[in-house]
């Protein structure tokens, strides 16, 4: 049956419903495009024959292949679009720098899209707050205090805070830090928020 | 349970399909028994049981929903779609008797979605199908909601295994609400947590390293 290949792509995304980005399936996508090309060419020959020899009985077959073309088109669009949604989410979960193993799963165009999304978001955030800019990825949960108690879950090296002090983030050490400085690190699982 | 920034495209409601929704694409992949009302020349290879060059008129075969929907035409009879067994009279009686005992995951898993999609094909039984699908949902909803709101910190696999995809999604959002409320009650709502996506990535990284 036609359009079986493209379902594999869709399934791949559907299995990872938590928003993880599977590797870009270039090979699968190429196979789908090849199938579409074959369908299109067959339809062309049948259309020409139906026109020149007046064979109206070919029309149902042409219609069937046309449906398959539309279906492939829909699935490929959905595949690419869903991946973009996931990539956009990564910007909010990881911050502007992605770890290599995540970046590795994107194709060149997706990396380009990610960079442009980053730029648009950054210029939007700069335009807010009366010329001073406002980081809207901060404070997803309303803050209760400016400083919070955090514990290090792994060695992260040196870390500089606003007043210029440098702290060493060593595994299992506990610190009292400005909230806005460590929010990102908490999301990334480097620090843990300790609530007393 | 954490706030997520990935929101997939939601499936369409009722008879509508959402073009970009992965769920709807998988739903329209479900196969329907159909009977061809005209010949399809040069496509004989699609029908495995015979090795003719064409698909002759009157062949009974299974086609995916998306193809049946695309080919179906009220005026020009290209194919007629038959009802899958769970929407036929016999099963409808079962559903009407007690919807709670049926394993919709095994029957479907897109029982409601496919049922609504069947209404695209003019069948004299359409009103009954719609009625049964609706009544089944109403009959099962209370239990789905109850269990999703009360199963806290326990294994939910037994509760969800017999649910349809739509019911599973409802169950999940009920659970998210329950967990959110519980963590608010414990005063943990303002605690900053690591992103679940990041954590899941790390989990996978460890398994990748191990052979």
Cβ pair B194:A77 closer than 8 A = no
Cα Rg for chain B, rounded, in angstroms?
A: 22
> Is residue B51 in some structural domain?
yes
CATH number at residue B173: 1.20.58.2050
> Is residue A133 in some structural domain?
no
Dihedrals phi, psi of B111, to nearest 5 degrees: -60, -50
Residue B1 has a pLDDT of 39
> Is residue B164 in some structural domain?
yes
The beta-strand segments (E) located in B28-133 are 31-36, 60-64, 79-81
Residue where the block lists tokens 């399809």: B40
Q: Do B41 and B68 fall into the same domain? A: yes
Q: Do A168 and A114 fall into the same domain? A: no
> Is residue A138 in some structural domain?
no
**CA A8, A12, A16: angle at the middle one, nearest 5?**
160
Residues in chain B closer than 8 A to A82 (CB atoms): 8-9, 20, 22
What is the complex's ipTM, to 2 decimals?
0.87
Mean pLDDT for chain B overall: 87
Q: Do B77 and B114 fall into the same domain? A: no
For residue B134, count other CB atoms closer than 10 A to its CB. Answer: 13
Q: Do A112 and A183 fall into the same domain? A: no
Any CB–CB contact under 8 A between B41 and chain A? Answer: yes
Q: Do B53 and B104 fall into the same domain? A: no
> Is residue A74 in some structural domain?
yes
Rounded CA gap, A43 and B59, in Å? 22
Residue B211 has a pLDDT of 46
Rounded CA gap, B158 and A147, in Å? 44
- Show the domain range for B144: 85-183
Residues in chain B closer than 8 A to A70 (CB atoms): 70
CATH number at residue A32: 1.20.58.1030
Spans of chain B, pLDDT less than 50:
1-2, 210-211
- Show the domain range for A73: 4-127
> Is residue A136 in some structural domain?
no
Q: Do A89 and A173 fall into the same domain? A: no
User: Please, are residues B167 and B140 in contact by the beta-carbon 8 Å criterion?
Assistant: yes
User: What DSSP assignment string belongs to chain A?
Assistant: -TTHHHHHHHHHHHH-TT---PPP-HHHHHHHHHHHHHHHHHHHHHHHHHHHH--GGGHHHHHHHHHHHHHHHHHHHHHHHHHHHHHHHHHHHH-SS--HHHHTTS-HHHHHHHHHHHHHHHHHHHHSTTTT---TTS-SS--S-SEEEEEESS--EEEE-TTS-EEEE-TT-EEEEEHHHHHHHHHTTSEEEPP-
| CB-count exposure of residue B156 (10 Å: 0-12, 13-18, 19+) | middle
Q: Do B175 and B92 fall into the same domain? A: yes
Q: Do B40 and B126 fall into the same domain? A: no
> Is residue B189 in some structural domain?
no
Cβ pair A7:B26 closer than 8 A = yes
Rounded CA gap, B89 and A77, in Å? 38
> Is residue B46 in some structural domain?
yes
- Indicate the residue of B4, B71, B198 with minimum beta-carbon distance to A94: B198
- Indicate the residue of B22, B64, B189 with minimum beta-carbon distance to A14: B22
Residue A141 has a pLDDT of 82
Instruction: Look at chain B and report how many structural domains it folds into.
Output: 2
> Is residue A141 in some structural domain?
no
Dihedrals phi, psi of A141, to nearest 5 degrees: -105, 135
Dihedrals phi, psi of A35, to nearest 5 degrees: -60, -40
Residue B133 has a pLDDT of 93
> Is residue B4 in some structural domain?
no
User: Please, are residues B24 and B48 in contact by the beta-carbon 8 Å criterion?
Assistant: no
Instruction: Convert B24-39 to b/e letters by CB count within 10 Å (16 or more is b).
Output: bbbbbbbebebebbbb
Per-residue DSSP letter, B12: P
Instruction: Look at chain A and report how many structural domains it folds into.
Output: 2
Any CB–CB contact under 8 A between A19 and chain B? Answer: yes
Q: Do B31 and B74 fall into the same domain? A: yes
Question: Å from A178 to nearest chain B CA?
Answer: 13
Rounded CA gap, A168 and A158, in Å? 4
Residue A154 has a pLDDT of 87
User: Please, are residues B91 and B41 in contact by the beta-carbon 8 Å criterion?
Assistant: no
Dihedrals phi, psi of B203, to nearest 5 degrees: -55, -45
Any CB–CB contact under 8 A between B1 and chain A? Answer: no
Q: Do A84 and A18 fall into the same domain? A: yes
Spell out the per-residue pLDDT of chain A, length 196, in tens: 889 999 999 999 999 888 889 999 999 999 999 999 999 999 999 999 999 988 888 889 999 999 999 999 999 999 999 999 999 999 988 888 888 888 999 999 999 999 999 999 999 999 988 888 888 888 888 888 889 999 999 888 888 888 888 889 999 999 999 888 888 888 888 899 988 6
Q: Do A22 and A100 fall into the same domain? A: yes
């Amino acid at each position: 049956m036609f359009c079986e290949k493209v379902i594999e792509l869709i399934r791949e995304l559907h299995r990872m419903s938590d928003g993880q980005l599977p590797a870009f399936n270039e090979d699968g996508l190429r196979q789908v495009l090849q199938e579409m090309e074959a369908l299109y060419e067959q339809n062309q020959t049948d259309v020409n024959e139906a026109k020149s020899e007046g064979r109206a009985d070919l029309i149902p077959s042409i219609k069937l292949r046309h449906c398959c073309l539309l279906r492939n088109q829909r699935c490929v669009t959905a595949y690419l679009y869903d991946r973009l949604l996931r990539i956009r989410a990564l910007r909010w979960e990881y911050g502007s720098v992605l770890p290599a193993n995540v970046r590795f799963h994107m194709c060149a165009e997706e990396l380009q899209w990610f960079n442009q999304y980053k730029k648009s978001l950054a210029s939007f955030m700069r335009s807010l707050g009366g010329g001073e800019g406002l980081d809207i990825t901060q404070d997803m949960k309303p803050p209760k205090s400016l400083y919070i108690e955090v514990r290090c879950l792994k060695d992260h090296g040196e870390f500089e805070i606003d007043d210029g002090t440098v702290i060493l983030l060593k595994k299992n050490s506990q610190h009292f830090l400005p909230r806005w400085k460590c929010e990102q690190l908490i999301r990334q699982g480097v620090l843990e928020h300790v609530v007393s | 349970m954490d706030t997520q920034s990935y929101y997939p495209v939601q499936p369409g409601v009722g008879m509508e399909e959402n073009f970009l929704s992965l769920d709807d694409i998988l739903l329209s992949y479900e196969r329907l028994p159909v009977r061809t009302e005209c010949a399809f020349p040069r496509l004989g290879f699609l029908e495995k049981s015979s090795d003719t060059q064409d698909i002759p008129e009157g062949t009974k075969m299974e086609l995916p929903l998306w193809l049946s929907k695309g080919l179906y035409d009220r005026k020009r009879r290209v194919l007629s779609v038959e009802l899958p067994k769970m929407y036929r009279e016999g099963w409808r009686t079962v559903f009407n008797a007690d919807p709670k005992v049926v394993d919709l995951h095994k029957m479907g898993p897109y029982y409601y979605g496919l049922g609504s999609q069947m209404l695209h094909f003019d069948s004299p039984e359409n009103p009954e199908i719609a009625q049964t699908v609706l009544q089944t949902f109403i009959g099962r909803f209370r239990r789905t909601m109850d269990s999703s709101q009360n199963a806290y910190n326990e294994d939910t696999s037994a509760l969800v295994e017999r649910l349809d995809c739509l019911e599973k999604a409802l169950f999940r959002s009920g659970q998210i609400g329950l967990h959110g409320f519980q963590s608010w009650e414990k005063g943990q709502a303002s605690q900053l947590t690591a992103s679940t996506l990041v954590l899941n990535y790390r989990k996978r990284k460890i398994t990748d390293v191990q052979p």
